Amino acid sequence: MPSLVLYAFATVAFLFTTTTTAFPLFAQDIQWSFDLYESKACNGTGELHAGSGSTGCRADLNTLAAGYTLDTVADGCRIEFFDNTMCDRNEIFDVAGPMTKTQMCLVPHIHRRYASYQVTCEKVEV
């Protein structure tokens, strides 16, 4: 029961910070977000990762993840998941983009875990 309350609180906090029309003082330009899970069933408490724009290699995960659920990926962005902590392009295990189904538990196709990720977003000329 406590994990359900914690998950509900995290969800409310995420929605609160990403709702720009109702809360303009907390405007966030979230272009991508996903939750990492220790289990291949994506149950338990997820580790939220969210941001806007490209990132470098992110290997500061609290745990090696066995699965993830995608919340959102903006047009022009893609998330690459790796099984190593160096974002080695020879070891890409999964790529998520705007056409990837959201809220579905996704796992690597072989018996490995996600250890790092990198987000690439194209710059939009205004």
* Within-domain flag for 4: no
* Within-domain flag for 59: yes
* Within-domain flag for 97: yes
* Within-domain flag for 126: no
* Within-domain flag for 6: no
pLDDT for residue 16: 42
* Within-domain flag for 38: yes
Q: Looking at the whole model, is its pTM more than 0.75?
A: no
10-residue mean pLDDT profile of the chain (126 residues): values are: 50 42 52 94 93 94 88 95 87 86 87 89 70
Q: Is 1 helix (H, G, I), strand (E, B) or coil?
A: coil
Q: Do the beta carbons of residue 50 and residue 33 sit within 8 Å?
A: yes
pLDDT for residue 2: 54
Cα separation, 114 vs 61, in Å, equals 9
* Within-domain flag for 105: yes
Both structure tokens of 8 = 């509900």
Number of separate domains in the chain: 1
Give the closest residue to 42 by CA, choosing from 103, 120, 125.
103
* Within-domain flag for 16: no
Q: Show the domain range for 83.
A: 31-121
Q: What are phi and psi of 14, to 5 degrees?
A: -65, -50
Q: Do the beta carbons of residue 84 and residue 68 sit within 8 Å?
A: no
Q: Do the beta carbons of residue 53 and residue 121 sit within 8 Å?
A: yes
pLDDT for residue 92: 72
pLDDT for residue 77: 96
Side chain identity at 75, as an amino acid letter? Answer: D
CATH number of the domain at 37, please. 2.60.20.30
